[in-house]
Amino acid sequence: MPRLIAHLDMDAFYASVELLRYPDLRGRAVVIGGGRRHQPVEQVDGTRRYSLLRDYTGRGVITTSTYEARALGVFSAMGTMKAAKLAPDAVLLPVDFDQYKNYSRLFKAAVRAVAPIVEDRGIDEIYVDLTDLPGAQLDAGRAIAQQLKDAVFDATGGLSCSIGVTPNKLLSKLASELDKPNGLTLLAPQDIATRIWPLAAKKVNGIGPKANEKLAGVGLHTVGDIAAAEPQWLIDTFGKSYGAWLHEASHGRDERPVVTFSEPKSISRETTFERDLHAVRDRAALGEIFTELCVKLAGDLTRKGYASRTIGVKLRFDDFRIVTRDLSLPAHTMDAKTIRRAAGECLKRVDLSRRLRLLGVRAGALATLAELVAPLHTGDAAATVLAAREPNTNRNLLLFDTPPPA
pLDDT digits (tens, 9 = 90+) for 314-362: 999 988 889 999 999 999 999 999 999 999 999 999 999 999 999 999 9
State the pLDDT at residue 373.
66
Burial 2-32 (b: 16+ CB within 10 A, else e): ebbbbbbbbbbbbbbbbbeeeeebeeebbbb
Arithmetic mean of pLDDT, 371-385: 51
Task: Give per-residue pLDDT as tens, 134-151.
Answer: 999 999 999 999 999 999
Does residue 402 register a pLDDT over 60?
no
Does residue 381 register a pLDDT over 60?
no
Sign of CA dihedral 49, 55, 60, 63: positive
Per-residue pLDDT band at 262 (split at 50, 70, 90): confident
Integer Cα distance of 52 and 80 in angstroms: 11
Domains identified in the chain and CATH numbers: 5-12+99-191 (3.30.70.270), 14-96 (3.40.1170.60), 197-250 (1.10.150.20), 266-397 (3.30.1490.100)
Task: Give per-residue pLDDT as tens, 272-302.
Answer: 887 889 988 899 999 999 999 999 999 999 9
State the pLDDT at residue 401.
55
Other Cβ atoms closer than 10 A to 181: 14
Arithmetic mean of pLDDT, 359-366: 95
| Residue 110 burial (C-beta neighbours within 10 Å; 0-12, 13-18, 19+) | middle
Active site residue 125: yes
pTM of the model: 0.73
Integer Cα distance of 194 and 171 in angstroms: 13
Integer Cα distance of 239 and 279 in angstroms: 44
Does residue 177 register a pLDDT over 80?
yes
Does residue 64 register a pLDDT over 70?
yes
Integer Cα distance of 291 and 3 in angstroms: 48
Arithmetic mean of pLDDT, 364-376: 77
Does residue 363 register a pLDDT over 60?
yes
Arithmetic mean of pLDDT, 360-383: 70
Closest residue by Cα to residue 289 from 310, 313, 308: 313
Does residue 391 register a pLDDT over 50?
no
Partnered with residue 41 across adjacent β-strands are 49
Instruction: Tell which wins on pLDDT, 391 or 371.
Output: 371
- Tell me the percentage of the chain whose pLDDT exceeds 70: 92
Catalytic residue (one of 18, 125, 177, 263): 125
Task: Give per-residue pLDDT as tens, 18-58.
Answer: 999 999 999 999 999 888 889 999 888 888 999 999 999 88
State the pLDDT at residue 274.
79
